[in-house]
Amino acid sequence: MSNYESAKVQFADWGVDTEAAIARLKTIPISMHCWQGDDVVGFEQQKGTSGGGIQATGNHPGRARTPDELRADLEFSYSMIPGNHRLNLHAMYMDTDETPDRDEIEYKHFAAWVDWASSQGLGLDFNPTFFAHAKADDNLTLSHPDKGIRDFWIEHGKRTREIAAKMGETLGSACVNNVWVPDGYKDYPIDRISPRQRLEASLDEMLTHNLDKSKMLDAVECKLFGIGVEAMTIGSHEFYMGYAIRKGTVLCLDMGHFHPTENIADKLSAVALSVDELLLHVSRPMRWDSDHVILQSDDIL
């Protein structure tokens, strides 16, 4: 008897049909994040530090240097992974000869990705990119005290929602547009509520227009802290959990965005009582949010 057959019998004693579980699992796509393929560099012509405690350096040997190289690497990866899956695309990975700023991006700048995804039978998910830009070098974007900078990033977020909706419509599968911002402080601020009020107001304006949920889903994501913003992260777990409950957005929980002793598996049954949908970012933090390639572990199981 093989290991699987033995396990199948044991699970059956507990009333678990392993064949049915595997069949169900095959229907659940995994959205692979594109930024692991080039060490979080992107394909736009912008200057700015990564921000928000992101420690990727962009110099990993063999990283993809062009959209075509990244797509080739992705095709190889998908060929090794059973099931039908998706790609999670960040806004900084546009495929165009044009050089639009973040508040000028349009669907056409990502059309090549949509055509490729369609040819590969993949769905797409999307992310606004609130880092690696001159207007984010102080680690403040949607919560910035400068209204001009807030408005710049609000417009960026609005455009990513429209692009995501078009992606979802074209591919026939709802595109999750996940919002994470690096906003925070390196030292203890005197005022903690004002930046959170600004972040909430910016999110409200960004999400003003209701878009068809069969085409696009809004998600919000927290983080405990980052290198350079150790003292306070404005978009904390409590902030975004409350926001998702009040506004009806998807809540994103990232395995690498909590304290090393926290297990997000324990959070699922709690937050599931208050939000309709959850997005999980499955990563393998090494001391902190270093997003190493995932391994099967007790936390995953």
Sequence-separated (6 or more) residues with CB below 8 Å from residue 270: none
pLDDT in tens, 18-49: 999 999 988 889 999 998 888 888 999 755 55
Q: Is residue 24 part of a domain?
A: no
User: Which of the 8 DSSP states describes residue 27?
Assistant: T
Is 298 inside a domain boundary?
Answer: no
For residue 122 the two structure tokens come to 């993949």
Report if residue 225 sits inside a domain. Answer: yes
Position 105 scores a pLDDT of 98
| Segments forming the whole domain that contains residue 271 | 30-292
Whether residue 58 has pLDDT greater than 90: no
Give the SS3 label for residue 93.
helix
Is residue 1 included in any domain, yes or no?
A: no
State the average pLDDT over residues 163-191: 97
pTM of the model: 0.92
Q: Residue 45: which CATH number? A: 3.20.20.150
Residue 11 in domain: no
195 domain-assigned: yes
- How many domains does the chain divide into? 1
Is 101 among the domain residues? yes
pLDDT at residue 252, rounded to an integer: 97
Share of the chain above pLDDT 70, in %: 93
Comparing CA positions, the residue from 176, 41, 160, 144 lying closest to residue 91 is 160
pLDDT grade, residue 60 (50/70/90)? confident
- Relative to beta strand 232-233, strand 184-185 is antiparallel
Residues 6+ apart with CB under 8 A from 291: 36, 256, 283, 284, 285
- Domain annotation covers residue 171: yes
